[in-house]
Amino acid sequence: VTKTGNKQLLAGDSMRYDLTVANNSNVPLENFYLHDRFPTDCATAKTITTGTYNTRIPYKVVYKTNFNQTPRTLADNLDPSVNRVLQATPTALGLKSGEAVTQIMFIFGTVPSGFRMVDNAYIYGTVRKSASGSSFVNKVDVGGLNDSQQWIMSNDAWTTTIYRAPTYKKPTLPTTGW
């Protein structure tokens, strides 16, 4: 799994993370998943673009929130050849005041050796204005069980620095005496 995104942002900016995943092992993997943790203390999720995959295995996307750690289904029985945009805002999901998406997981079932993304998945969000002057690490992991029932896993992380927006002060012009 690979994660990339914005290295630097201003508080209040939109952000995007790109995810790439593949089963580069030489065996199928059962219970294959892609799991992304969203840094809700610094940013809020807006949309998830699912990406497309080279194998026709229907999958689902689930999420957890800061108020509820029970996975809830965002979308189910997704066609891997169709790139979808899923809404992940609190309003779209009917979340409570102060509740936000903290984790997103794509669940595939069993994937063959060579399974991979054709088009990357993207997660879009907005940097909180209160996060000004900080940095955060966004983590992702992927895994599945091999034929010996051992977990094969990979992870990646991306660090983003949030700068305080510069304040503009109107300059004072000299008095000319006219």
* Model confidence band, residue 38 (pLDDT cutoffs 50, 70, 90): confident
Helices (H) and strands (E) in the chain, counts: 1, 14
For residue 91, the one-letter residue type is T
Q: Token pair 């108020």 is at which residue?
A: 67
Q: Token pair 């510069």 is at which residue?
A: 166
> Residue range 28-34: average pLDDT?
97
Q: How far apart are CA 125 and CA 93, in angstroms?
A: 15
Question: The pTM is what?
Answer: 0.88
pLDDT of residue 164: 76
Closest to 155 (Cα-Cα) out of 140, 137, 136: 140
pLDDT of residue 17: 94
Q: Token pair 């503009």 is at which residue?
A: 168
Q: What is the pLDDT of residues 140-163, one digit of tens each?
A: 999 999 999 999 999 999 999 998
Q: What is the pLDDT of residues 103-147, one digit of tens each?
A: 999 999 999 999 999 999 999 998 888 877 788 888 999 999 999
> Residue range 56-78: average pLDDT?
96
